[in-house]
Amino acid sequence: MKIMREVIESVQYVSERSRWVRIDHAVLDRFVRKRSIEPLRLPPWDPAYHFHDGTEKTVAYLLVVDALNFCFWPEKGKEKWRVCFGTERLDGYYALAAALTQAVKRGEPILDPGFLEAVTAERLARILDGHGELQLMRRRAENLNELGVFLSDSYGGEAARLVEAAKGSAARLARLLARELPSFRDTAEYDGREISFLKRAQIVAADLHGAFAGKAWGAFSDLDRLTAFADYKLPQVLRHLNMLVYEDSLARKVDRCITLPSGSPQEVEIRANTVWCVELMRRGLRERGISANAFEMDWYLWNLGQEEEFRHKPYHRTPTIFY
């Protein structure tokens, strides 16, 4: 699919011209050689925090999750957002997944497109029912408003029909979301060229694949076309592994938790080199006879990022709805 080629061509373009971020190819090659001897242990889809009933409701749930799947870190001086889930206190993405699961189970109409069209930031905050600050709440409500209108106007309010319109193509689904919903149109400009990332548009297909174990609405014939999902956790992991190297002034900003503006050259370079680094890993493993899709490697690296060892250096801070 052309749109996935655009992402790969975009990130390669940025990587080859980067001034603040570089990939250490020697370290990357050692990682690939080691993984060819000790294969990646890919984490399975985690059903503990996600709503799943095997029906169209699960499709709608995942669309709502990924409409809100961004920016889980607090502003300076604010308490990190957390959610109680049974005996656990969750933060980040799992807190969002669990909060929405609890909302569905207690009868909140969060999967109803008519409700999504009109939901306010205040109502959404009450539904998510967490402690601390979840940034950009008004933008989150606007994303749901946009999604609700789109589903009602184009697919009779049925999320499953939207997925079915992609006809089993993950790339086509990502392209459809990015084309029709501005909140999924994750692009930036770098040296006068439009750069495509499409993080949340792509992750919808990967999440459907995981939730439905590659069947029903999770059956896609071209998952190998998905790229890594350019967020803030993956570059943190790749930097810990010394595969991503930041120029000194950028390293100081990241380590001091100084905000990088969305779309700034430094932020674009971090994201682009992250995606290109994972693509180079994938190609290196393929040359050694090991097949691993970029989104699977993304899951592997993202799960590493949940371990304390990989949090010694901060991730970069960029307030954005795209990741």
Q: Which of 217, 228, 247, 253 is nearest to 305 (CA)?
A: 228
Full DSSP string of 157-175: T-HHHHHHTTTT-HHHHHH
All residues at 6 or more sequence positions from 203 whose CB lies less than 8 Å from its CB, including other chains: 66, 69, 229, 295
Read off the tokens for 280.
Answer: 């180079």
DSSP code, position 215: S
What distance in Å separates the CA atoms of residue 232 and residue 250, rounded to the nearest whole number?
A: 15
In the chain, alpha helices (H) = 2-17, 25-37, 56-67, 92-105, 113-118, 121-128, 137-155, 159-164, 170-180, 199-211, 233-240, 248-255, 265-287, 294-304
**Cβ atoms of residues 316 and 252 within 8 Å:** no
Q: Among 281, 303, 298, which Cα is nearest to 290's? A: 281
What are the tokens at 159? 């999320």
Query: Looking at the annotation, which residues are catalytic?
Result: 231
Collapse the DSSP code of 36 into the 3-class scheme (helix H, G, I; strand E, B; otherwise coil) and give the result.
helix
